[in-house]
Amino acid sequence: MATTRRLVTVRHGETDWNLARRIQGQMDVPLNETGRLQALALTNTLAGFTPTLIVSSDSQRAVVTAIPFATQHKTPIHLSPGLREIYVGTWEGLHIAEAERQHPEEYARWHSGEDFPRGGGETRAQTARRVADALLEAVRRDDAGDTVFAFSHGVALRVGLDLLAAEGFIALEEPAPHFGNTQWMAVDLLKD
C-alpha cells in the first residue's frame, strides 16, 4: 500500500517590517522578538507531526523560524532559494503608502488585482511556478519520506499552493489563505 505524502507549509514569524507594513519581498529582514517567540511556539503547535524532510527559503526570517522545530526533531534544514518571497523590485523596502506615492500607476494596477511585475520584479504567476516547482522538488527528493515541511513566505505560499491545486497535485476546497505569521497548512499530495 502506498504511503500518503503530506506537505506542511509554514509562513515565517513576525518581523518589524510586517508590523510597519513595509514591503519585504526578497530583502533579508530578521525576525523581531515576537517572531522569535512564535518560532519557539511552533514546536508545540506542530507537535503532532514528525518531519521526514525540512526545507526553507534561504531568507533568514524563514530559516530562523524553522530552527527550533528542526532542532526539536533533530532534522536538518535544506535551503531552497525557490521558496523565496515574491520579488517586487523597486517596491522592496517601501512602506505601502510610499509605494502608492512613488509608483501611483503601478499601485493602482496592483490594487485592482492585476498580475504584473511590480517594480520590475516578478509576477504572481512567475512566483507561483517557482514556488510550486520548489515544493514538488522537495517532496520528490529520495530522502523526502512522507512528511515534508516547507518554511516560506505569505505571497509565495499562497500562490504556490494555488498552482499546485490547479495542476491536481493537492486538493483545496477554496483558494489558499493569506498566511499570517507562523500560520501553517497541511495538505496531502494526490500525485507527485
pLDDT of residue 2: 56
**CATH classification of the domain holding 181:** 3.40.50.1240
Cell of 99: 509605494
Range of the domain at 75: 6-87+122-188
Catalytic residues: 12, 85
Helix residue ranges per DSSP H, 73-153: 96-102, 104-111, 124-140
**What number is the average pLDDT over the span 119-132?**
98
Is the pLDDT at 35 greater than 70? The verdict is: yes
Tens digit of each residue's pLDDT (9 = 90 or more) over 62-99: 999 999 999 999 999 999 999 999 999 999 999 999 99
pLDDT at 120: 97
Give the mean model confidence (pLDDT) for residues 15-33: 97
pLDDT range class, residue 25, cuts 50, 70, 90: very high
The 3-state secondary structure of 68-91 reads: HHHHHCCCCEEECHHHCCCCCHHH
When divided into structural domains, the chain yields a total of 1
Whether 45 is covered by a domain: the verdict is yes
